[in-house]
Structures are given as C-alpha cells and as structure tokens.
Structure 1
Amino acid sequence: MLYRLIFSVVWVALVTGCTSLPEDIEPVSELDLKEYQGTWYEIARLDHSFERGLTHVTAEYSINDDGSFTVINRGYSREEGSWQEAEGHAVPVEGGPAGHLKVSFFGPFYASYVVFRLDDSYQTAYVTGYNREYLWLLSRTPEVSEETLAEFRAVAREKGFDLQELVIVDQGTKPVRRADDPS
C-alpha cells in the first residue's frame, strides 16, 4: 500500500512537472488553432537526444474534430540515410493560457508545449517545453532572415535560455528518398 502511494505521488509529480510552465515564461494569450495548423519548419533548436543529427525537420499540425491536434514531426537522419517520423497528439492545457498546450508521443505521458512568442501573421513562433532545456524557432518557410534569427537569439537570452547548444537546422536541398527507404 505504501509503495502504491509513493508511486502515485511520484507519478503525479512527474506528469504535472512535465506540463508546467518554465518560470517567467508567459505563453501567448491568444492562439488561433486554425491559423496555427499546417506545416512549420524548424529553423533552430536547443540540441537534445530525440532530434540529434536530424536535418530538414518539419512539424505538421492538423486539428481533429475534438479540438485536439495531430502532430507529425519529421526529419532526415544523414547518419541512417532515412527519414524519421513521430506522430503525436496535442491538446490545450485545461484552464491555461491559449499558448500552453501539452503534447504526447508516448501514450498517456504529456509534456508542455509553450508558444511564448508568435507574430500576428503566424509566420514565426518561439516554443519551449516545461523548462529551458527545450527551445525551438519555427517558421512557415524553410529559411528566415538573419534579422529574424538575431531577434530570436536576443529574446531567448533575455528569457534565460543558454544558447551554447543552439542548432541551426539545415533546411537546404531535401535529400532524395532512396528506393529502399520505407519512410
């Protein structure tokens, strides 16, 4: 019985901790999910294991009838010579600001997806997770201006992100799919 109680407390702490907001990061107060859906190109990210080495990374968001999103993340692994794809599910955090969503790629386990900056025309978005180890610059186009990238870096530093491991994602000429590549 004590083991179950401890497990339950730890599990709740992990789940709620992973869907919380980083301190002093405010999600956007307005987010039109219909405008947000579609393809976003990953321009820059903090390096982390689940995307390490991937180029040509995109995220495709489509709204489901229940108001949730289907998320398809896709990137090319030069090391493996193939496309990698992950399908997930995202929903707004109940009672949270519009820009605070939670996303799951592993069943019932969710993590924060926090849109903390979004231009009025939905062309660029700054996204983080539940802490400052996660950061993405997303764009509707595969390239952005140096000014856009410089502004992203400045805002990220101001918000307390360590940019030493910032990866600028190669979105150049897409790799050709090999005939034996099932993806």
Structure 2
Amino acid sequence: MTKWIVLCLSTLLVYASELPTVASVDINRYLGRWYEIARFDHRFERGCSRVEAFYTLREDGMIGVKNSCYVADENRTKEANGRAYSVDEKSNSKLKVTFFWPFYGNYWIIDLAEDYRYAVISEPSKEYFWILSRTPEMAQSDIDHILSLATTLGFDTTKLIWRSKTMLTQGAD
C-alpha cells in the first residue's frame, strides 16, 4: 500500500511539474502572420528587432514556418525557413519545429486567446519563451494576463526582451 501511495505521489509531481499547454489549437486559425511582442534572449535572434513569423500549411501536411527580423547592425532583413508538425494531434498544442534538419525543437503553445489574437510559446525546459500577437502592439490587459501566467508557471519575466520601449514600460509594471 505504501509503495502505491509513493508511486501515485511521484506521478502527480511529474505531471504537476510539466509545463501545461492549451487544450486545443485549430491549426487553420493559427496559420498566418504573428508579430513577436517579447522573447527570452537566445543566439538565433540576437540583434534582431521587428521579428515576425508566418505559418502556412504545406502540401505534405506539415506547417511551413518563415521567420524574419531586422538586423540593425547589418541594415538588413534576415529570414529563416523551416517546418513543423504536431506531436499531439489531439490538441495540436505541442509541435516540433526544424530550421536545420534533422534537428527539431519543441514549440509548445502554453496560452492562446480564444480569438487567436495572441499566443504564448515555450517548451518543457522553459529556456525559450515568446509572446506573439496578430498585431504589432498588444492591449495592456493581455500583457498583464500573460505576465501573470508566466510568473505563475515559474518564468522570470524580467528576462523578456520587448518589441518596443512602450511595451517594456507596460510590461514592467
């Protein structure tokens, strides 16, 4: 009996520590242009501003991914093309993305507005974090909601790099 209780508690702890994702994502509604509002720093976007992602449905059923950003130091736009597929076809909230095959990364949708106006992306290690929006600016109430959720999930929101100084000020409150 004691072993069973320990096993149950251990299982609960594993599930409690796993990063939750949204219950359901309609991939067709998710397709299109997204503006990066904020992110954690990482080498592949270092020096980038005005970051955008554009998702399409490919003929092979995978999702086409086109990321672009402006690199001020080089006075140019940089693009990266990749592809993604759902690893959780029940919810479509967990994707694998590659920009350099055969290496894939996790892309987990951990928050999504009902009307798909914003999405929050991360992965199990919580090393990566993005706030995406259908528009280049977001409502303060959405930013507040996302920052509260991120803090609850254990993310350090002081590490966020914001799209604009206005949002940095808004996000800091």
Structure number with the bigger relative contact order (C-alpha 8 A, sep ≥ 6) is 1
The 1:94–1:24 alpha-carbon spacing in structure 2 relative to 1, beyond 3 Å, is closer
Aligned to 2:138: 144
| C-alpha RMSD over aligned residues | 2.1
Amino-acid identity (%): 37
Correspondence for 1:89 among 83, 87, 92: 83
Whole-Å Cα distance in 2 between the matches of residues 147 and 95 of structure 1? 31
In structure 2, what is the equivalent of residue 56 of structure 1? 50
**1:63–1:47: structure 2 CA closer, same or farther, 3 Å change rule?**
same
Q: Is the contact made by 1:143 and 1:171 (CA closer than 8 Å) also made in structure 2? A: no
SS at match of 2:74: coil
Question: Partner of 1:31 in structure 2?
Answer: 25
Measure, in 2, the Cα distance between the counterparts of 1:86 and 1:170.
22
Question: Is the CA contact 2:109–2:122 (under 8 Å) kept in the aligned structure 1?
Answer: yes
How far apart are residue 22 of structure 1 and its match? 10
Write the deviation string for residues 19-49 of structure 1: whole angstroms up to 9, x where unpaired: xx99431222211111000000000111111
Matches within 5 A, 1:1-183: 23-93=17-87, 97-170=91-164
* Separation in 2, partners of 1:74, 1:28: 26
Give CA-to-partner distance per residue, 1:46-86, whole Å, 9 cap, x none. Answer: 11111112111000000012321110000001111111110
Identify unmatched segments of 5+ residues in structure 1: 1-20, 173-183
Unaligned runs of 5+ in 2: 1-14, 167-173
* Preserved CA contact (<8 Å) 2:21 2:111: yes
State the Cα distance separating 1:130 from its structure 2 match. 3.4
Higher fraction of helix: 2
The aligned amino acid for 1:169 is R
CA–CA distance in structure 1, aligned partners of residues 60 and 23 of structure 2: 21
- Give the equivalent residue in structure 1 for 2:6: none
Q: Secondary structure at the match of 2:45?
A: coil
**TM-score, scaled to structure 2:** 0.81
Check 1:40–1:22 CA distance in 2 against 1; reply closer, same or farther (3 A cut).
farther
- Comparing 36-45 with 87-96, which one deviates more in the overlay? 87-96
Alpha-carbon distance in 2 for matches of 1:79, 1:22: 43
